[in-house]
């Protein structure tokens, strides 16, 4: 070991530090500095050679925090205005033109002396070079793969006020072409963010001091052997860092992590040669507590403590792994032939059907990981459960999540349906080096996550076929990706989503597999919900997209005051599609709602909620023929005027409550095939009950009330329901009512389901319109055609079409404001 004095040797010897303990030294936190420079210039002027001078060459560098990202550090330092506010992100486009250097100065704990020391990076976005004390350690590319360097002979043990070890990390300029890094970095653009490719040290950095044999991976594979017992097969991957073979003892102790249990132990003495060695040990759990989604059972979690010792019980390494005992199997959806649906789409957990009431997890809580505080994860998982989600879907636009996300899902009983890597909406490169790098990243990612019981279904990509110039190549790529990860996980793998669109059918997929039910949104008046959703006959709906505005107070946090209303260009920059929103407003409310800020915002949220509720309840009544439905999105990673039922600031929109009602595990719902009825017509509907629980409910009563425009009850009916079977969907009774009021009014229904003790089991309600259906449909179509013509003229993604003074329209005069008055919004 270098750089240790005789005095320090004696100090360590007196303390007995040769010790039987693993030492981890966390390098995360606020004790970092950073600076940017033109690409390639940092090494030329010697940034990598910076030493531990107290007021040396980096004294004028800015302070930084790790984990985090470059943009957040620049914002904290005052070098950027908040990229989320207004159109500031456009002013920060100089940032990815630079390389960014991060410096951490530190002393190491004396307990690390005479141990094998590794410098560990859990994740860097995207590429980096690393130096320690002027010694080049290596380079790495890939946002999701952990990497390590042996620094046993590079660490200094002297102590100075600010530390004698200097860690220098050069972040490569952020990639500018997604296709060149897809799979190893998520897209930084999409239909709610376009501006800046994130970059930074987004996961922890730390030192590990161990013996010369280390635990590289632990994989717990549970098998349920009977109702009350299970077998655990544990795959242990060890690395011997010495040239000679060593004999070590592997010890495993398993006990309940969130409940009291017996401790189960197994030991095995093995020989490890240089490099990677793999072993498997097994043990039986006599009184096994299973892990379930929250609506099917408890979330029992176990902990496996692995220790590696040699000789007289000298500790080499130790690690803890959390896991759950559960089995996931896939079965085909009943009601479809193999010619209609080839893939098994029903998730069975411990032998029970898990109908996935899902929402897309639209990225981390912030696209800038330095602002994605753990408290945001905690609140968003809490809200997801409050809204009755039992599944969250991470699709290919977004990265895999940090460990905290999966642990929170484990504890909450929310399953995860995840694309293995972020591959979305592009043509993939065809060179072998790209494929090899992506597959290696995928294997690393799968191994990192596979112990989480929440993870139940894997996909290869998102919309990877529908817009690709060579969809056949993309299909071959993701099929090979599935084969590459197969040895590392038993979870079912689907190549992409959707499979049954026009391109998917041309590739040979079956017609009723999966479909993105987004035509109502993008069709802009071509369809109405009562016709569109019942026409879809698919095993799963992985994406159902409807947009809305955030809450009033939230909008004021990211839109400049002088642009709030009438809406200025910052609305357009944050993905406001005024034409889509006014079309949806009219479909749901019979009014485009363009004549006031509060009115417009509220209308968009109600429209989103009503459409989500109608669609979700429809697809749930198809159970078990349909086995999953997923709204797009639950959240997004930036303030936007687009998707999400919880906005960027973790505030619930009005649409949240509509989804919460539609996702009740025990749901009473009223099917209705029209929302508009003429005065005096006989409204007709059907009462159904959907039960995602496995227990039955007997001797229940359903009550339905019809209310007029003033919320006065005009009719009430009660119906006895003798039995609601577990895991079921059934129609029970037809309901009717003479439509009250006059054209322009609304009328309402309120439904409750109670048990024999009059306890409320489920409640629901609906808003309906007194209107001329045919007349309104023509008007809706006219609005949609106008919107289509505007997009054809000015561009589908060009929001300048709403702002004459920005030059979108010829012939505008100086009297034109920057607001979208040409589109009929109040000025």
| 827 has a pLDDT exceeding 80 | no
Tens digits of residue pLDDT in 740-783: 999 999 999 999 999 999 999 999 999 999 999 999 999 999 99
Bridge partners (DSSP) listed for residue 207: 25, 119
In this prediction, residue 795 carries a pLDDT of: 76
- Which residues does 758 contact at the CB level (< 8 Å), separation at least 6? none
% of the chain beyond a pLDDT of 70: 95
| 728 has a pLDDT exceeding 80 | yes
In this prediction, residue 736 carries a pLDDT of: 97
Q: How far apart are CA 414 and CA 358, in angstroms?
A: 9
* CATH classification of the domain holding 455: 3.20.20.80
My answer on whether 362 and 409 are in the same domain is yes
| 15 has a pLDDT exceeding 50 | no
My answer on whether 144 and 44 are in the same domain is yes
My answer on whether 599 and 712 are in the same domain is no
| 215 has a pLDDT exceeding 90 | yes
19 occurs within a structural domain: yes
- Which residues does 432 contact at the CB level (< 8 Å), separation at least 6? none
Tens digits of residue pLDDT in 365-380: 999 999 999 999 999 9
* CATH classification of the domain holding 699: 2.60.40.10
Paired tokens of 649: 């600031």
Computed on alpha carbons and rounded to an integer, the radius of gyration of the chain in Å comes to 29
My answer on whether 604 and 675 are in the same domain is no
| 360 has a pLDDT exceeding 50 | yes
Average of per-residue pLDDT across 497-513: 97
Tens digits of residue pLDDT in 226-281: 988 999 999 999 999 999 999 999 999 999 999 999 999 999 999 999 999 999 99
Q: How far apart are CA 343 and CA 457, in angstroms?
A: 12
Q: How far apart are CA 364 and CA 258, in angstroms?
A: 26
Using 50, 70 and 90 to split pLDDT, how confident is the model at 807?
Answer: low
Cα–Cα distances in angstroms (integers) from residue 107 to residues 28, 30, 147, 157, in the given order:
14, 15, 22, 7
- Which residues does 370 contact at the CB level (< 8 Å), separation at least 6? 65, 67, 68, 69, 71, 72, 73, 76, 200
In this prediction, residue 177 carries a pLDDT of: 94
- Which residues does 447 contact at the CB level (< 8 Å), separation at least 6? 217, 219, 488
Q: How far apart are CA 418 and CA 182, in angstroms?
A: 16
Paired tokens of 407: 């642990």
In this prediction, residue 20 carries a pLDDT of: 62
Paired tokens of 460: 């290869």
My answer on whether 143 and 10 are in the same domain is yes
| 168 has a pLDDT exceeding 70 | yes
Average of per-residue pLDDT across 481-488: 98
Q: Can you say whether the dihedral through the CA atoms of 537, 541, 545, 551 is positive or negative?
A: positive
689 occurs within a structural domain: yes
What mean pLDDT is reported for the chain? 93
Q: Which domain holds residue 735?
A: 668-773
Paired tokens of 223: 């098998």
Q: Give the three-class secondary structure for 372.
A: coil
In this prediction, residue 7 carries a pLDDT of: 52
Nearest to 498 by CA among 489, 490, 506, 488: 506
| 154 has a pLDDT exceeding 70 | yes
Tens digits of residue pLDDT in 578-617: 999 999 999 999 999 999 999 999 999 999 999 999 999 9
My answer on whether 612 and 739 are in the same domain is no
Q: Can you say whether the dihedral through the CA atoms of 402, 408, 414, 415 is positive or negative?
A: positive
* CATH classification of the domain holding 79: 2.60.120.260
In this prediction, residue 2 carries a pLDDT of: 43
| 127 has a pLDDT exceeding 50 | yes
Of 177, 208, 239, the residue at which a domain comes to its end is 208
| 452 has a pLDDT exceeding 80 | yes
* DSSP labels, 65-114: EES--HHHHHHHTTSS--TTSTTGGGGGTTGGGSEEEEEEEEPPPGGGTT
Q: How far apart are CA 666 and CA 502, in angstroms?
A: 35
Number of other CB atoms surrounding residue 480 within 10 Å: 14
Query: Strand 455-459 to strand 415-419: parallel, antiparallel, or no bridges (unpaired)?
Result: parallel
My answer on whether 526 and 493 are in the same domain is yes
Query: Strand 391-394 to strand 356-362: parallel, antiparallel, or no bridges (unpaired)?
Result: parallel
Least confident range from 26-30, 268-272, 679-683, 804-808: namely 804-808
| 820 has a pLDDT exceeding 60 | no
In this prediction, residue 805 carries a pLDDT of: 75
Which position has the token pair 């039955």? 696
My answer on whether 709 and 822 are in the same domain is no
In this prediction, residue 59 carries a pLDDT of: 87
| 29 has a pLDDT exceeding 80 | yes
| 135 has a pLDDT exceeding 70 | yes
* DSSP labels, 628-687: EEEEEEEEESS--SSS-SB-TTSPBPHHHHHHHHHT-SEEEEEE-S-SEE-TT-EEEEEE
- Residue 462, classified by CB atoms within 10 Å of its CB into exposed (0-12), middle (13-18) or buried (19+), is buried
Q: How many domains does the chain have?
A: 5
My answer on whether 152 and 23 are in the same domain is yes
Bridge partners (DSSP) listed for residue 351: none
My answer on whether 568 and 431 are in the same domain is yes
Q: How far apart are CA 395 and CA 148, in angstroms?
A: 28
% of the chain beyond a pLDDT of 90: 88
My answer on whether 246 and 318 are in the same domain is yes
Q: How far apart are CA 675 and CA 749, in angstroms?
A: 12
Least confident range from 171-175, 204-208, 559-563, 808-812: namely 808-812
In this prediction, residue 824 carries a pLDDT of: 62
| 82 has a pLDDT exceeding 90 | yes
Spell out where 708-772 has E strands: 713-724, 728-738, 746-754, 760-770
338 occurs within a structural domain: no
Nearest to 119 by CA among 560, 108, 342: 108
- CB-CB contact of 568 with 613 (8 Å): no
Q: How far apart are CA 535 and CA 42, in angstroms?
A: 60
In this prediction, residue 160 carries a pLDDT of: 77
My answer on whether 199 and 231 are in the same domain is no
């Amino acid at each position: 070991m270098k750089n240790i004095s005789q005095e320090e040797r004696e100090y360590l010897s007196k303390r007995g530090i040769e010790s039987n303990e693993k030492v981890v030294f966390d390098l995360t936190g606020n004790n970092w500095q950073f600076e940017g420079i033109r690409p390639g210039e940092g090494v030329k002027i010697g940034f990598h050679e910076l030493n531990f001078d107290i007021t040396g060459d980096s004294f004028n560098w800015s302070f930084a925090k790790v984990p985090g990202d470059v943009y957040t550090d620049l914002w904290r330092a005052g070098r950027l205005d908040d990229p989320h506010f207004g159109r500031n992100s456009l002013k920060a486009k100089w940032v990815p033109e630079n390389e960014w250097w991060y410096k951490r100065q530190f002393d190491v704990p004396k307990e690390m002396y005479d141990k094998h020391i590794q410098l560990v990076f859990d994740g860097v976005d995207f590429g980096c070079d690393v130096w320690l004390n002027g010694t080049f350690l290596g380079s790495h590319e890939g946002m999701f793969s952990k990497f390590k360097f042996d620094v046993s002979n590079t660490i200094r043990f002297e102590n100075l006020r600010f530390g004698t070890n200097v860690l220098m990390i050069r972040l490569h300029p952020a990639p500018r072409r997604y296709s060149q890094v897809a799979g190893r970095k998520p897209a930084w653009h999409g239909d709610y963010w376009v501006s800046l490719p994130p970059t930074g040290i987004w996961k922890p950095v730390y030192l590990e001091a161990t013996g010369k044999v280390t635990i590289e991976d632990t994989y717990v594979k549970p098998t349920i052997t009977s109702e009350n017992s299970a077998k655990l097969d544990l795959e242990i991957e060890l690395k011997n860092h010495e040239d000679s073979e060593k004999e070590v003892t592997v010890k495993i102790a398993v006990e309940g992590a969130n409940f009291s249990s017996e401790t189960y132990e197994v030991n095995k003495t093995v020989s490890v040669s240089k490099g990677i060695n793999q072993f498997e040990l097994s043990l039986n759990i006599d009184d096994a507590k299973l892990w379930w989604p929250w609506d099917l059972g408890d979330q029992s979690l176990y902990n496996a403590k692995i220790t590696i010792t040699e000789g007289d019980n000298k500790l080499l390494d130790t690690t803890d792994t959390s896991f759950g005992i559960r089995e996931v199997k896939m079965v085909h959806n009943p009601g479809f032939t193999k010619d209609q649906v080839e893939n098994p789409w029903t998730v069975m957990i411990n032998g029970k059907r898990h109908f996935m009431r899902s929402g897309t997890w639209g990225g981390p809580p912030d696209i800038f990981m330095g602002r994605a505080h753990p408290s945001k994860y905690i609140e968003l998982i809490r809200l997801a459960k409050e809204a009755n989600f039992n599944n969250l879907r991470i699709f290919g636009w977004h990265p895999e999540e940090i460990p905290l996300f999966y642990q929170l899902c484990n504890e909450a009983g929310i399953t995860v349906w995840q694309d293995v890597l972020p591959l979305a909406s592009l043509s993939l490169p065809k060179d072998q080096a790209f494929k090899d790098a992506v597959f290696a990243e995928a294997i690393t990612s799968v191994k990192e996550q596979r112990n989480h019981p929440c993870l139940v279904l894997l996909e290869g990509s998102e919309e990877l076929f529908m817009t690709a110039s060579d969809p056949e190549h993309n299909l071959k790529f993701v099929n090979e990706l599935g084969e590459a990860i197969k040895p590392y996980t038993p979870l079912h793998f689907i190549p992409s989503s959707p499979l049954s669109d026009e391109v998917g059918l041309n590739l040979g997929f079956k017609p009723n597999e999966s479909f993105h039910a987004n035509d109502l949104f993008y069709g802009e008046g071509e369809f109405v919900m009562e016709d569109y959703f019942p026409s879809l006959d698919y095993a799963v709906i992985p994406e159902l997209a409807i947009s809305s505005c955030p809450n009033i107070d939230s909008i004021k946090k990211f839109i400049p005051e002088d642009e709030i209303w009438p809406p200025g260009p910052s609305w357009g920059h944050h993905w406001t599609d005024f034409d889509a929103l006014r079309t949806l407003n009219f479909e749901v409310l019979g009014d485009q709602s363009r004549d006031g800020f509060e009115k417009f915002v509220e209308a968009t949220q109600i429209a989103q909620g009503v459409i989500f509720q109608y669609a979700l309840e429809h697809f749930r009544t198809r159970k078990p023929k349909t086995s999953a439905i997923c709204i797009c999105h639950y959240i997004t990673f930036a303030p936007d005027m687009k998707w999400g039922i919880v906005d960027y600031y973790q505030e619930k929109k009005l649409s949240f409550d509509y989804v919460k009602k539609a996702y009740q595990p025990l749901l009473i719902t009223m099917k209705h095939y029209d929302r508009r009825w003429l005065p005096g017509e006989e409204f007709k509907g059907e009462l159904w009950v959907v039960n995602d629980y496995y227990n039955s409910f007997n001797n229940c009563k359903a009550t339905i009330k019809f209310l007029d425009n003033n919320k006065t009850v005009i009719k009430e009916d009660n119906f006895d329901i003798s039995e609601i079977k577990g895991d079921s969907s059934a129609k029970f009774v037809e309901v009717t009512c003479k439509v009250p009021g006059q054209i322009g009014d609304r009328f309402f229904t309120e439904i409750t389901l109670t048990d024999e003790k009059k306890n409320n089991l489920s409640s629901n309600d609906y808003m309906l319109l007194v209107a001329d259906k045919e007349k309104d449909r023509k008007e809706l179509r006219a609005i949609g055609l106008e919107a289509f013509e505007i997009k054809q003229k000015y561009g589908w993604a060009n929001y300048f079409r709403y702002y004459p003074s920005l030059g979108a329209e010829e012939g505008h005069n100086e009297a034109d404001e920057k607001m979208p008055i040409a589109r009929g919004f109040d000025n």
